[in-house]
Amino acid sequence: MKNFSDLGVETSILNAIQEMGFETPTPIQEQSIPVFLETGQDILGLAQTGTGKTAAFGLPIIQLVEPSNRTIQALVICPTRELCMQISKDLGNYSKNKSSINIVAVYGGSSIERQISDIKRGAHIIVATPGRLMDLMNRRALNISTVKYVVLDEADEMLNMGFEEDVEYILAETPKEKRVCLFSATMPKSIRNIANRYMNDPFEITVGKSNSGNVNITHQYAVVHARDKYAALKRFVDFNSDDIYAIIFCTTKHETQDISDKLIKDGYNADCLHGDLSQGQREKVMNRFRHHAIKILLATDVAARGIDVSGISHVIHFSLPDDIENYTHRSGRTGRAGKLGVSFTLLNMRENGRLRDIERLSNVKFEKILIPSAEEVRDKKLVAFIDTIVNTEIEESIFDDKVMTSLRPLLTLPSEELVQKFLSLELRRFSAEYLNAPDLNTTSGDRTRDGERGERGGNVRGQRIFVSVGKKDGFDIRSFKDWVAQESKLDWKELHVDVSGVFSFVDVKEELAEKVITALNGNTYEGRPVRAELSGEKPGGSREGRGGRGGDRGGRSGGGYSSRRSEGGSSSYGGGERRRSSGGDRERGGDRERAPRTERSDRSSYGRSEGTTERSGYGTRDGGRNRSYGDRPSGDKPAGERRRRRD
Ligand code: AMP
């Protein structure tokens, strides 16, 4: 595997990115950096956010810009102010040891005079949103006729937001012999047209499959009656509550507020973002979400624009987006920086056709799951709670004589009764809520596909095997499945697994159970003897097939209710740029949210119409900088690595 030095990155930059935790280049960096540095070719990159594309263009730009030449040499254009701030911050970090390079960010919603004076002081690199850039060009406050490198970042998003003419206008003002780098999460015709017109035989890079969305995202859906959507949402959340950190997308402001109110009333750690909230209120909500004080954020597409939070475990589509491309953008908020994520759609029967359209146009493959039964949710909670207790370290200092005396009534109880009392207390809410709770899955009008049955138990029928290793041994779902597959010489597809703190389950077809048990039982893992035996339970309840996540997102270890994350986004939330739809006002539906018009001054001088669409201009950026690609908590060796050592 190549390192950054092999790609031609110079020492001063190498030192800077090393401090940021960049150890090995991401695939897009590996492909783009040498081309950028060593050839004069344009670059056309099909890549989602979270793939490391900022450094893919940022590192070469920092290296190629000449500090002694005090004209604007590089121009990075991006759709939102959050992204703009993030990119300029990233470029600043890469060039930390080259202080003579000036980077100026220009975006709407901030003092234009200040930006003008920053530019006057000398800028080598401008990072800009299109509207503000046009404004500055019109005021003759900046001259882009000297630029050598132009980057169009999240180009599809810029076009979605109605910036096509602006982008073309800006490109026309740059010199003919410049190099152009265009990055886009999707490749609709409009982007191809721009590439054909403004790029010269570009070197094409695709990370993941064309239009396939992020490969780290599992796309799931469940079909319920419209009236059961809220109940199904709660079940999904309850089932995943040990590690959920989710954004739930709704279509209207009213729906967003309504679902948020209901969740809060029902005891969930939730809040919402939509256009009826003041900027101050939105910032407060975002801060709380970023710091995990809120675990579930309800949002409209517009309000979610620019959300920059790392470690999102689930994106939930309570309603499908109006615009199919928005599905990719919504989903792109999870599965970032090498982590895995789930994009889950709650569908009512009428929406089947739209899901098929998304599948076809976005080229994602949806996996049907069943909304877990009440019993499954309860069992999962039980296992998680037991995990937490087993993994809790005793705080000796709490138990002084006085406390021990107070505890006497408890200590005299038989241990079994004590455990039952604690569990009853913990699970009371679920017992009450889920008593006689109905099955929420619909059966009629369902999509069917090979291997996909609308019946409980999913694809795997047969035996459930107990295995005496789990997260404590460094396993997550993926690595455990790898290990079981390798040891038992079975295919991944034949295994369904569920990994808990100190033990795990493997579900296999009846005839394969013996093979797995023979391979694992008596084996050792990291020097620890492994026990594997039939569990006596029926297969099912696995995270994989039950509203669960297709893998451990980010290799967190340990179980329990609360996830132990330490990341926090770093950029602040704010309204993005005002957007315009080239196709007029598409918002007919009642309180469909419109884009905030925070950048009037930016573009009013061009006398353009202002129809806005509800499209998400997302400046999703990962705030956790000090992590290596394929993030995991430091010190926590991935099971894969351990396994390799053992091999
Ligand atoms: P981007 O796609 O540019 O938004 O990057 C997504 C996240 O990955 C950001 O937090 C980056 O700091 C991080 N990142 C980018 N490249 C690397 C790398 N080579 N190693 C580790 N982290 C990276």
Query: Tens of pLDDT along 602-622?
Result: 333 222 232 322 223 222 333
Q: What value does the mean pLDDT take over residues 178-203?
A: 89
- The CA distances from residue 493 to 134, 451, 484, 508, in Å, are 53, 11, 12, 10
- What pLDDT is attached to residue 462? 75
State the total domains in the chain: 4
Our answer on whether the CB atom of 21 is closer than 6 Å to any ligand 1 atom is: yes
The yes-or-no verdict on residue 127 having pLDDT over 90 is yes
Q: How large is the average pLDDT for residues 61-67?
A: 96
Taking the CB of residue 63, how many other CB atoms lie within 10 A of it? 18
What is the C-alpha separation between 559 and 502, in angstroms, rounded? 9
Confidence band (pLDDT; 50, 70, 90) for 317?
very high
Q: How far is CA 255 from CA 277, 279, 299, 318, 615, in A?
A: 14, 20, 9, 9, 17
25 lines ligand 1 (CB under 6 A): yes
Task: Report the mean per-residue pLDDT for the chain.
Answer: 77
For residues 603 and 45, give the distance between their C-alpha atoms in angstroms, rounded to a whole number.
29
Q: Is the Cβ atom of 622 under 6 angstroms away from ligand 1?
A: yes
- Of the pLDDT bands very low, low, confident and very high (cuts 50, 70, 90), residue 540 is low
For residue 357, give the 3-state DSSP assignment. Answer: helix
- Closest by alpha carbon to 336, among 621, 625, 23? 621
Buried b (16+ CB within 10 A) or exposed e, 253-283: bbbbbebbeebbeeebbbbbbbbebeeeebe
500 in the same domain as 633? no
Q: Are residues 598 and 580 in the same domain?
A: no
Give the angle subtended at the CA of 124 by the CAs of 46 and 45, to the nearest 5°: 5
Q: What is the pLDDT of residue 593?
A: 55
Q: Is 421 found in the same domain as 301?
A: yes
Closest C-alpha residue for ligand 1 atom 18: 22
Any idea how long the chain is?
647
Nearest in space to 376 (alpha carbons), one of 565, 597, 537, 161? 537
Cα 611 to ligand 1 centroid, rounded to whole Å: 35
Q: What is the mean pLDDT of residues 443-456?
A: 36
Cα of 627 from ligand 1 centre, angstroms:
8
DSSP 330-345: HHTTSS-TT--EEEEE
Give the residue-averaged pLDDT of 281-289: 87
| Residue 560 pLDDT greater than 60, yes or no | no
Q: CB of 79 within 8 A of CB of 154?
A: yes
Q: Is the CB of 319 under 6 A from ligand 1?
A: no
- Ligand 1 site, residue 49, Cβ cutoff 6 A: yes
Confidence of residue 429 (pLDDT cuts 50, 70, 90): low
**Angle at CA of residue 197, ends 193 and 201, nearest 5°:** 100
**Sheet containing 203-206: order of strands:** 103-106, 125-128, 74-77, 149-152, 179-184, 43-46, 203-206
Q: Would residue 559 count as lying in a domain? A: no
Distance CA 134, CA 107 (A): 10
> Which of 90-94, 544-548, 631-635 is least confident?
631-635
Burial of 353 (0-12, 13-18, 19+ CB in 10 A): exposed
Model confidence at 92, pLDDT cuts 50, 70, 90, reads very high
pLDDT band of residue 10 (cuts 50, 70, 90) is very high
C-beta separation of 469 from 504 below 8 A: yes
- Is the predicted pLDDT of residue 80 greater than 60, yes or no? yes
Would 55 be classed as within a structural domain?
A: yes
Query: What CA–CA distance (Å, rounded) separates 332 from 271?
Result: 21
**Does 179 fall in a domain?**
yes
* Residue 44 DSSP SS3: strand
Closest CA to 591 of 251, 317, 286: 251
Residue 545 counted as domain residue = no
The response to whether residue 335 sits with its C-beta less than 6 Å from ligand 1 reads no
What pLDDT is attached to residue 550?
40
Q: What is the per-residue DSSP string for 610-627? A: ----------------S-
Rounded to an integer, the average pLDDT of 524-547 is 69
Instruction: Report whether residue 337 contacts ligand 1, using a CB cutoff of 6 Å.
Output: yes
Q: What is the pLDDT of residue 48?
A: 75
CATH number, domain containing residue 314: 3.40.50.300
Entry pTM:
0.47
Residue labelled with tokens 């004590």: 418
Residues 303-325, mean pLDDT to the nearest whole number = 82
Ligand 1 contacts CB of residue 9 (under 6 A):
no
Residue range of the domain that includes 583: 211-457+571-588
What does residue 505 show for φ and ψ, rounded to 5 degrees? -125, 145
**Calpha distance 237→180 (Å, rounded):** 44
Q: Is 540 left (phi over 0), alpha (psi -120 to 50) or beta?
A: left
Residues 100 and 194 in one domain: yes
The region of weakest confidence among 17-21, 249-253, 592-596 is: 592-596
On the question of pLDDT at 581 being above 60, the answer is no
Whether the CB of 50 sits within 6 Å of ligand 1: yes
Is residue 250 in a domain? yes
> Quick check: 75 and 128 in contact, CB under 8 A?
yes
Ligand 1 atom at minimal distance to the Cα of residue 26: 19
Query: pLDDT band at residue 601, thresholds of 50, 70 and 90?
Result: very low
Q: State which of 3, 48, 622, 628 you would mutate to test the pocket of ligand 1, scoring each by most atoms of that ligand within 8 A of its C-beta.
A: 622
Question: Residue 61 is encoded by which pair of tokens?
Answer: 């730009």
Reported as a single tens digit per residue, the pLDDT across 31-50 is: 999 999 998 899 999 887 77
**Ligand 1 centre distance from Cα of residue 337 (Å):** 6
Which of 2, 629, 634 maximizes ligand 1 atoms within 8 Å of its Cβ, making it the mutation to test the pocket?
629
Same domain, 218 and 195: no
Best residue among 4, 26, 49 to mutate for probing ligand 1's pocket (most ligand atoms within 8 Å of CB) is: 26
Looking at per-residue pLDDT, the higher value among 227 and 385 belongs to 227
Cα–Cα distance measured from residue 628 to residue 647, given in angstroms and rounded to the nearest whole number = 24
Q: List b or e across 110-130, with b for residues whose CB sees 16 or more CB atoms inside 10 angstroms.
A: bebeebeebbeeebbbbbbbb
| Contact criterion met (CB below 8 Å) for 49 and 339 | no
Query: How far apart are the C-alpha atoms of 179 and 198, rounded to whole Å?
Result: 10
User: Which atom of ligand 1 is closest in space to residue 21's alpha carbon?
Assistant: 21
Copy the structure tokens of residue 293: 């004080």
Q: Are 106 and 129 in contact (CB under 8 A)?
A: yes
Task: Report which of residues 145 and 393 the model is more confident about.
Answer: 145
Residue type (1 letter), 530: V
Share of the chain above pLDDT 70, in %: 76
Q: Which atom of ligand 1 is nearest to the CA of 22?
A: 20
131-145, 228-242, 349-363, 519-533: which is most confident: 131-145
pLDDT band at 7 (very low <50, low <70, confident <90, very high): very high
Torsion region of 256: left, alpha or beta (phi above 0 gives left; psi -120 to 50 gives alpha)? alpha
Ligand 1 atom closest to 622 (CA): 10
Instruction: Provide the pLDDT for residue 218.
Output: 87
Ligand 1 atom nearest to CA at 20: 12
Atom 11 of ligand 1, residue of closest alpha carbon: 52
Residue 352 to residue 412: CA distance in whole angstroms: 58
Q: How many Cβ atoms from other residues are within 10 Å of residue 40's Cβ?
A: 9
The pLDDT value recorded for residue 366 is: 87
Do residues 471 and 452 both lie within one domain? no
The reply to whether 150 and 72 lie within a common domain is: yes
Which residue lies with its CA nearest to atom 5 of ligand 1?
52
Q: Whose CA is nearest to atom 10 of ligand 1?
A: 622
CA distances from 446 to 31, 84, 371, 545, 597 (A): 42, 43, 14, 17, 41
Residue 265 maps to a domain: yes
- State the distance between the two ends of the chain, measured CA to CA, in whole angstroms: 20
525 and 640 together in one domain:
no
Mean pLDDT, range 620-628, rounded to an integer: 33
State the CB neighbour count (10 A cutoff) for residue 14: 17
For the segment 97-115, the average pLDDT, to the nearest whole number, is 92
Residue where a domain terminates, one of 539, 560, 580: 539
Kindly report the protein residue whose alpha carbon is nearest to atom 20 of ligand 1: 22
Query: Quick one: average pLDDT of 558-574?
Result: 28
Task: Between 521 and 364, name the one with better pLDDT.
Answer: 521
Candidate from 304-308, 417-421, 605-609 with smallest mean pLDDT: 605-609
Ligand 1 neighbour 48 (Cβ under 6 A):
no
Ligand 1 pocket residue status of 621, Cβ below 6 Å: yes
Q: Hey, what long-range contacts does 138-146 have (CB within 8 A, 24 or more apart)?
A: 138/605, 139/112, 141/115, 141/116, 142/72, 142/106, 143/71, 143/72, 144/72, 144/75, 144/170, 144/173, 144/174, 145/173, 145/174, 145/175, 146/71, 146/72, 146/73, 146/175
Whether 561 is in a domain gets the answer: no
Percent of the chain with pLDDT over 90: 34
Same domain assignment for residues 374 and 473: no
The candidate with the shortest Cα–Cα distance to 338, out of 217, 212, 246, 220, is 217
157 domain residue, yes or no: yes
Residues 24 and 63 in one domain: yes
Ligand 1 atom 6 nearest Cα = 50
Q: How far is the CA of 647 from the centre of ligand 1 (A)?
A: 30
Q: What ligand 1 atom has the least distance to the C-alpha of 51? A: 2
pLDDT score recorded for residue 298: 96
Give the angle subtended at the CA of 307 by the CAs of 301 and 309, to the nearest 5°.
Answer: 135
CB–CB of 500/548 below 8 Å? no
- Tell me the best of 13, 17, 22 to mutate to test the pocket of ligand 1, counting ligand atoms within 8 Å of each CB and taking the most: 22
DSSP string covering 171-239: HHTS-TT-EEEEEESS--HHHHHHHHHH-SSPEEEESSSTT---TTEEEEEEE--GGGHHHHHHHHHHH
Lowest mean pLDDT among 14-18, 462-466, 589-593, 634-638: 634-638
Q: Is there a contact between 119 and 185 (Cβ–Cβ < 8 Å)?
A: no
* Per-residue pLDDT band at 451 (split at 50, 70, 90): very low
**Together in a domain, 423 and 472:** no
From 245-249, 408-412, 426-430, the region with the lowest mean pLDDT: 426-430
Q: What is the pLDDT of residues 456-490, one digit of tens each?
A: 333 345 788 989 888 888 888 878 888 999 999 98
Q: How high is the pLDDT of residue 279?
A: 76
> Residue 208's pLDDT is what?
54
Per-state percent for the chain, helix, strand, coil, to nearest 5:
40, 15, 50
485 with 600, same domain: the answer is no
Using the mean position of ligand 1's atoms as its centre, give its distance from the Cα of residue 52 in Å. Answer: 4
